[in-house]
Amino acid sequence: MSCDELLESLKGALAELDESRVDSLTAKALEQGCSPHEVVERGLRPGMQEVGFRFERGEYFLPELMISAEIFNAVMQRYILPVLTKEQSGEYKGRVVIGTVRGDIHDIGKNLVAVMLRIDGFEVIDLGVDVSPERFVEAVREYRPDIVGMSALLTTTMLEMRNVIEALRAAGLRDSVKVIVGGAPVTLEFAREIGADAYARDAVEAVTVCRELVKGKRKV
């Protein structure tokens, strides 16, 4: 099977919540030479999206969403992270405070962004999920990061990103950090509208964008 075919099957296996097939197809795809990034972005992430569509259509319920997250995390731990961490660059790039915004407990994408940033040489302070604007402000005071990263997966919680930016402004800290936002419902237009400095569609792009942000080049 070609890489494309393997990744298509991987997407289907995750959508079906077939853990052993997800496991074996991930291993095969990596053996075949598909990059870990391709496996995640063209196999696993579309599989998760399909789980989401089935949830919307009433074919899946909350337990299936939770199972999909467990399967995703298991193959990340078993196959993807060991390959990625071998690629560690080591050179220090800067400090990032990251979190999933208030009201939102989705953390798979945020964790992936945090891992990729660490591998690239960023120091990452991960505030976890359901992070209030006050907590972001406190963390900026405490850690003095170069960048604040926010993730949101719900159309309702993405609005919290604006509140964080406003809270940073009110605390007189907005100019001391660059702000990057991301997550499935977030767009470049939304990032511009709320006054973020940058947006990234996936974890690899987040790394490239953060590198540019620390060099002071990028403004959305």
Q: Where are the beta strands (DSSP E) in the chain?
A: 94-100, 122-126, 147-151, 178-182, 198-199
Q: Which of 88, 155, 187, 208 binds ligand B1M (CB under 6 A)?
A: 155
- Which residue type sits at 105? I
HEC string of 148-189 equals: EEEECCCCCHHHHHHHHHHHHHHCCCHHHCEEEEECCCCCHH
Contacts of ligand B1M in 45-74 (CB under 6 A): 45, 48-49, 51-53, 55-56, 62, 65-66, 68-69
Binding mask 104-143 for ligand B1M (x = CB under 6 A): xxxxxxx-xx------------------------------
Contacts of ligand B1M in 190-209 (CB under 6 A): 200, 202-203, 206
Using alpha carbons, list the distances in angstroms from residue 170 to 59, 140, 181, 189: 45, 13, 19, 23
Q: Which of 81, 184, 188, 214 binds ligand B1M (CB under 6 A)?
A: 184
User: Stretches 12-20, 103-111, 131-139, 165-173: which one binds ligand B1M (CB under 6 A)?
Assistant: 103-111
Nearer to ligand B1M, 13 or 181 (CB): 181
Contacts of ligand B1M in 1-40 (CB under 6 A): none
Please check whether residue 148 is in contact with residue 167, taking contact to mean a CB–CB distance below 8 angstroms.
Answer: no
Least Å from the CB of residue 44 to ligand B1M: 7
- Separation CA 86–CA 119 (nearest Å): 9
Both tokens of residue 46?
């579309």
User: Which parts of this chain interact with ligand B1M (CB under 6 A)?
Assistant: 41, 45, 48-49, 51-53, 55-56, 62, 65-66, 68-69, 98, 103-110, 112-113, 149-151, 153-155, 180-185, 200, 202-203, 206
